[in-house]
Amino acid sequence: GAGVSQSPSNKVTEKGKDVELRCDPISGHTALYWYRQSLGQGLEFLIYFQGNSAPDKSGLPSDRFSAERTGGSVSTLTIQRTQQEDSAVYLCASTTGVTSKNIQYFGAGTRLSVL
């Protein structure tokens, strides 16, 4: 079956612009995670969605970052007024959320470059 799909694969934007990154999880997976991978900070957790529960936003670095998940499936990560330090690879992962292992399966990521 299809894996986690992320789009766009690459995004170049100008400082101050807003960007939207999309994640389409594996069908049937109720839990969805966003991570950021940057040279300086490595891989960092951003936000977690589980079913209809309130998301865990504890990893979002600033209020310029937000995310939503519509219909318990597709998620969009929005970065407003982008800054150069937002340049990174944004990875999305999904999992069934109910197994003893809870293995997260990742997409190929969106590489964001802020000029």
Partner 1 sequence: AQKITQTQPGMFVQEKEAVTLDCTYDTSDQSYGLFWYKQPSSGEMIFLIYQGSYDEQNATEGRYSLNFQKARKSANLVISASQLGDSAMYFCAMREGRAGANSKLTFGKGITLSVRP
Task: Identify the burial level of 39 via C-beta atoms within 10 angstroms of its C-beta, where 0-12 means exposed, 13-18 middle and 19 or more buried.
Answer: exposed
The CA distance from 104 to 40, in Å, is: 23
| 21-50: contacts with partner 1 (CB under 8 A) | 31, 33, 35, 42-43, 45, 48, 50
Give the residue, chosen from 1, 27, 70, 103, that forms a contact with partner 1 under the rule CB under 8 A.
Answer: 103
Q: Which of 86, 95, 112, 114 binds partner 1 (CB under 8 A)?
A: 95
Cβ neighbour number for residue 112 with a 10 Å cutoff = 22
Contact residues for partner 1, defined by CB under 8 A? 31, 33, 35, 42-43, 45, 48, 50, 56, 59, 89, 91, 93, 95, 97-109, 111
